[in-house]
Amino acid sequence: MEKFNGNSADLDINFERNLFTNDVSIKSGEEAIRRALKNLIFLKTNEKPFHPELNSGISDILFENVNPITIEEIKRRIKRIIAKYEPRIAKSIVDIEHNVDRNLVIVKILYTINNVSTVFTADLTLKRTR
């Protein structure tokens, strides 16, 4: 399996301490891209200062009745945010399952990183918050 060795690095979202530097840990490589992808998808309107356009709009449709149209709209919004704001991802496929009884939408994103042939996966669970 080919390993991604790009210069991608992000702060650890849990703000865990690096034992050697006593600073915040850094996630790098495919883990950094996976975290950035999840952050993009869960970003709400006006949550990013000075960039209200930077949002997926997923939270706006979580209260809709789950039907094939809603599922396709979630897919479309996820694909749009990835294409627009994550240039490190070359191709992506979004697969969605929904569990009506538990009010869950399970999103599986298969993606390839630029110049890497390995397919990576990001799993997300979208849940109504109220």
Chain-centre distance for alpha carbon 80: 12
Looking at residue 79, its pLDDT comes to 94
Using the Cα atoms of residue 109, residue 74, residue 107 and residue 82 in order, give the sign of their dihedral.
Answer: positive
Question: For residue 11, which phi and psi values (nearest 5 degrees)?
Answer: -70, 150
Average pLDDT over residues 53-73: 83
Rounded Cα gap, residues 31 and 38, in angstroms: 11
9-127 belongs to which CATH class?
A: alpha beta
Residue listed under structure tokens 């650890």: 12
pLDDT digits (tens, 9 = 90+) for 1-57: 444 445 555 555 555 776 677 766 666 567 788 888 888 888 888 888 888 888 888
- What global pTM score does this model have? 0.75
Looking at residue 2, its pLDDT comes to 43
Looking at residue 1, its pLDDT comes to 40
Closest among 6, 83, 71, 7 to 40, alpha carbons compared: 83
